[in-house]
Structure 1
Amino acid sequence: MRQRESVVFTIFFPLILLMIFGSVFKNTIAPGVTFSQYFVAGMIASGLVNSGFQQLAIVIPLERDFGSLKRLRGTPMPVASYFIGKALLVIASMTAQIVLLLGFGVAFFGLNLPTSAGKWFTFLWLTLLGTATATVLGIAFSIVPKSGRGASAIVSPIVIILQFFSGVFFVFTQLPSWMQHVAAIFPLKWLTQGMRSVFLPDSFTSQEVAHSWENGRTCAVLVAWLVVGLIFAIKKFRWSN
């Protein structure tokens, strides 16, 4: 039940935020770019982090508390099946989020979908790499909460702070420079910037820190975090308390 509630919340919360922010902030932040268009790109990136990192870092400690993981390890089912199942859950949740966000963005907030194959390809590899990175980081971070009951209190503030620092809710270059430097360490900033390269016109690069989309650097940062998360997930994952 808790996992089902978590999935439903993860899917619909970004959509609720889009409806609120998109209805309140209707201004143009750059030539041909409304705040809603900017916000949709950030919400898609943030949704990947919510579906992977936040959801797993909260649900896995709960399952550990209930003894589900310990019982699962005692069954003949391969251990890898558990992680494959979690990955499939993240993919399903992420897919539903993207469909809803794009649908509502186009229908109600004037979102312009990419018109070139190159941008759709960028969207595809960003989504796949971002999902993989968020998933392994969520599994790795699940060892931090001491109990499932306190997992949300630890994980959720981290995600919210990173959203504010990474240009999800505000234009990134309007944030204080120290926030920009902190955000550049973490994958959400780069994932958000990558999604802007897909959904915003190339003229918006004038509003970016490097005056370019830096998709190559985005890929490198996400791969680095994927490797780090994978190492920690393999070495530190616990099946019981």
Structure 2
Amino acid sequence: MPGPIRLGLSRGWLEVREFVREWESVVFTFTLPSLVLLLFGAVFDGAFDAGMPAVDFYLPGLIAMGLMSVSFQTLGTGIAVERERGGLRRLRGTPMPPTAYFLGKTVLVLVLALAQLVLLLGVAALVHDAAMPRNTAAWATLAWVFLLGTVSGALLGTAVSSLARNARTAAGVVVVPFLALQFISGIFVPVALLPDWLLDTASLFPLKWMAQGMRAAFYPDGFSAVEPSGAWDLHLVALALGVWCAGGLLLALTTFRWKTRKDG
């Protein structure tokens, strides 16, 4: 038998092929952040008073939203559907080790996240000539926030998938809190306008920290003054996302179910 890593990579390639065959999922997953970026650029162009073009202002937050979508939302709903259809139970009965299944999901999420990032950067640069990260350090910040944020979102989505009673309720369990987090995490509403109690609530989840890290990568240094602390606080971003990676792994390991509740 092949080893778990080889099986996991093969499983990941299968996951990617299965995902792209569902064109509705591809369109919904990848078009929303880019569509919002295009709309905001068109609606607020020339009427945006933030010291930068509207596209430059919203791009970091929409990147964070896109990465959270392809990790948290994709796995949170997708795994619930697989469990409901009996796919997980059948996989558990095969000689494939469980680690290969989770490695396959990791490969899927990283491929989707990279594609989402490239698409958003391409749309922003080609359509609106948006500003990109200004130096090597900013690109490095983009890279580690991308990695930690995507992993934490994927682990949280895996854990949340077990909360849904069935595939029909999975969308509500995953999409509703994700939508609420977008409005309190600095994605659509500037953090300077949010009440402290909402920011404190958002700080308990990874999306707020992903958006803050992305702003540090894309915004000029002087714009750190708009943050609640007056600084980017990248050490706190790394700490929060790292804690969510560890905590998400613990939640996923302790809550993951191969069968539905009615199957026992």
Same fold per TM (> 0.5)?
Answer: yes
- Residue 218 of structure 2 corresponds to 199
User: What amino acid is the match of 1:30?
Assistant: A
Distance 1:88 1:64 in 2: 19
- Residue 14 of structure 1 corresponds to 33
Conserved in 1, the CA contact under 8 Å of 2:88 and 2:259?
Answer: yes
Distance 1:35 1:126 in 2: 22
* Structure 1 position 117, deviation (Å): 0.8
Moved more, 175-184 or 48-57: 175-184
Task: Say if 2:165 is the partner of 1:112.
Answer: no
Larger radius of gyration: 2
Conserved in 2, the CA contact under 8 Å of 1:7 and 1:55?
Answer: no
Percent identity, aligned pairs only? 40
* Structure 1 position 131, deviation (Å): 0.9
Distance 2:134 2:36 in 1: 26
Distance 1:171 1:34 in 2: 14
Distance 1:146 1:123 in 2: 36
- Residue 65 of structure 1 corresponds to 84
Structure number with the bigger relative contact order (C-alpha 8 A, sep ≥ 6) is: 1
Distance 1:166 1:37 in 2: 17
Superposition CA RMSD, Å = 1.5
* Structure 1 position 29, deviation (Å): 3.7
Distance 1:87 1:156 in 2: 20
Runs of 4+ in structure 1 off by over 6 angstroms are none
User: Which one of the candidate residues 121, 129, 134 is aligned to 1:102?
Assistant: 121
User: What amino acid is the match of 2:216?
Assistant: S
* Structure 1 position 109, deviation (Å): 2.2
Distance 2:142 2:58 in 1: 16
TM-score (norm 1): 0.95
Conserved in 1, the CA contact under 8 Å of 2:134 and 2:218?
Answer: no
1:149-186 superposed Cα distances (whole Å, 9 cap, x missing partner): 11002211111100000010121111222212211221
- Residue 74 of structure 1 corresponds to 93
**Structure 2 unaligned regions, length at least 5:** 1-17
Distance 2:243 2:49 in 1: 32
Structure 2 counterparts to residues 54-203 of structure 1, below 5 A: 54-203=73-222
Conserved in 1, the CA contact under 8 Å of 2:71 and 2:150?
Answer: yes
**Structure 1 unaligned regions, length at least 5:** none
Distance 1:207 1:52 in 2: 28
